[in-house]
């Protein structure tokens, strides 16, 4: 009984065989078939290599949702050099939510030389080149996200030469924590003083001829500090042509959660619009000389996640490539062989047709002549 059941099982399995065996006498090789086979194998090898490179690559997925976090603080990371001495300038933030001045105790005022060394100029030139490419090709931002390390740094390198030149500028760097509402970070003449009714700077003690708001933004970012990410204003340099000149930057900040295979950070992206003008009250151009960065937060939050093709999908695509090329090349080879046979048959028929028709006409003419005589 067991043997009978086993035989029935084997016969049932044989009936389900989808790969019937072809006798060797039915297999016929040809030069055209070998050529097509070589082409098929070469194509499969190339497509397999390309598919494997796609499998190794990753891409960034963007998801959007409403930002519901209003209670946390927003961190502003600043590294700006102004072409004025530190005792003449002051930096702080005007918080529009509470209409009060947020203290800038987290900033450090460091005397510096405004002109860069040769190595620093090369760094700035490369950074500006990257910025121009980012404005043209937005897909490069994905490459920056994927290659970002928390340990990597894009900060201005230290001077390689021992300059004996006395400091003529002030480097303002550090970070601030402000409310997650629109605000205005600004650097202007005089130190900021607390005032119950508004916002004031001690500008009366500074000589007007010493005003020079030429500046260089080595770094400006919002949120968690990720040094490897290049922000829109990094490497920006502006030269003032007048003492009474105002530089304005209108910034729209978008909260961003970045999750890659290398880092995970809560940072912010931002877009910026620049404007500069000379203060001339007689001509109707009112304002205060200085550097003003007015920022506003978007209500949307972006989650950027690095994704990778799963192995099962890669395997399915690989099987599709192999099977598709086999079946496609087989069909093309059969169609090509059929067309060649038709063309060859036509040529053969065409070579005999004129002779047969001539003989037929000659025979008919002979028979007609005999019949007349």
Domain boundaries, the chain: 30-59+309-344, 68-298
37: Cα separation from own chain's centroid: 40
Phi and psi for 346 in degrees, rounded to 5? -65, -45
Split at pLDDT 50, 70, 90, the class of 72 is: confident
Q: What is residue 45's predicted lDDT score, i.e. its pLDDT?
A: 86
pLDDT at 367 over 70: no
Split at pLDDT 50, 70, 90, the class of 321 is: confident
More confident residue, 116 or 154: 116
- Residue 84, burial from CB neighbour count under 10 angstroms (0-12, 13-18, 19+): buried
Q: What is residue 282's predicted lDDT score, i.e. its pLDDT?
A: 79
H or E element that contains 171: strand 169-179
Percent of the residues in the chain that have a pLDDT greater than 90, as a whole number: 15
pLDDT in tens, 100-132: 555 556 788 999 888 888 888 888 888 888 888
Q: What is residue 204's predicted lDDT score, i.e. its pLDDT?
A: 66
Instruction: Using DSSP bridges, classify how beta strands 200-201 and 192-193 pair: parallel, antiparallel or unpaired.
Output: antiparallel
Contact 146, 260 (CB under 8 A): yes
Question: Mean pLDDT in the chain?
Answer: 79
pLDDT at 66 over 70: yes
Nearest 10 degrees: Cα torsion 74, 78, 84, 90: 20
pLDDT in tens, 257-305: 988 888 888 888 899 999 998 888 778 788 888 999 999 998 899 998 9
Q: Measure the CA–CA gap between 32 and 35, rounded to whole angstroms.
A: 5
139: Cα separation from own chain's centroid: 3
Q: Measure the CA–CA gap between 119 and 195, rounded to whole angstroms.
A: 44
């Amino acid at each position: 009984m067991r043997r009978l059941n086993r035989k029935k099982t084997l016969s049932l399995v044989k009936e389900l065989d989808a790969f019937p065996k072809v006798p060797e006498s039915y297999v016929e090789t040809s030069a055209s078939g070998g050529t097509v086979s070589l082409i098929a194998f070469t194509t499969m090898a190339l497509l397999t290599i390309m598919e494997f490179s796609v499998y190794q690559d990753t891409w960034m997925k963007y998801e959007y949702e409403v930002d519901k976090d209003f209670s946390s603080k927003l961190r502003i990371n600043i590294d700006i050099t102004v072409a004025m001495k530190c005792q003449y300038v002051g930096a702080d933030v005007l918080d529009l939510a509470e209409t009060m001045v947020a203290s800038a105790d987290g900033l450090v005022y460091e005397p510096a030389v405004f002109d860069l060394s040769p190595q620093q100029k090369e760094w700035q030139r490369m950074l500006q080149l990257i910025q121009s490419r980012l404005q043209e090709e937005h897909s490069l931002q994905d490459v920056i996200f994927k290659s970002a390390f928390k340990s990597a740094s894009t900060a201005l390198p230290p001077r390689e030469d021992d300059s004996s030149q006395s400091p003529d500028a002030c480097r303002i760097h550090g970070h601030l924590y402000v409310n997650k509402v629109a605000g205005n970070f600004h650097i202007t003449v005089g130190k900021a003083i607390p005032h119950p009714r508004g916002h004031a700077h001690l500008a009366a003690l500074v000589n007007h001829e010493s005003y020079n708001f030429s500046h260089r933004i080595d770094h400006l970012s919002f949120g968690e500090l990720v040094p490897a990410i290049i922000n829109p204003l990094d490497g920006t340099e502006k030269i003032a042509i007048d003492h009474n000149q105002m530089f304005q930057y209108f910034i729209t900040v978008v909260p961003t959660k970045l999750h890659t295979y290398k880092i995970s950070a809560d940072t912010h992206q931002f877009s910026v619009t620049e404007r500069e003008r000379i203060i001339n009250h007689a001509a109707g151009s009112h304002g205060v000389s200085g550097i003003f960065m007015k920022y506003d937060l978007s209500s949307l939050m972006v989650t950027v996640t690095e994704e990778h093709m799963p192995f099962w999908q890669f395997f399915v695509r690989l099987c599709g490539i192999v099977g598709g090329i086999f079946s496609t090349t087989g069909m093309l080879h059969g169609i090509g062989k059929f067309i060649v046979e038709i063309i060859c048959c036509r040529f053969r028929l065409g070579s005999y047709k004129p002779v047969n028709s001539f003989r037929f006409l000659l025979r008919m003419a002979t028979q007609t002549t005999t019949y007349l005589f």
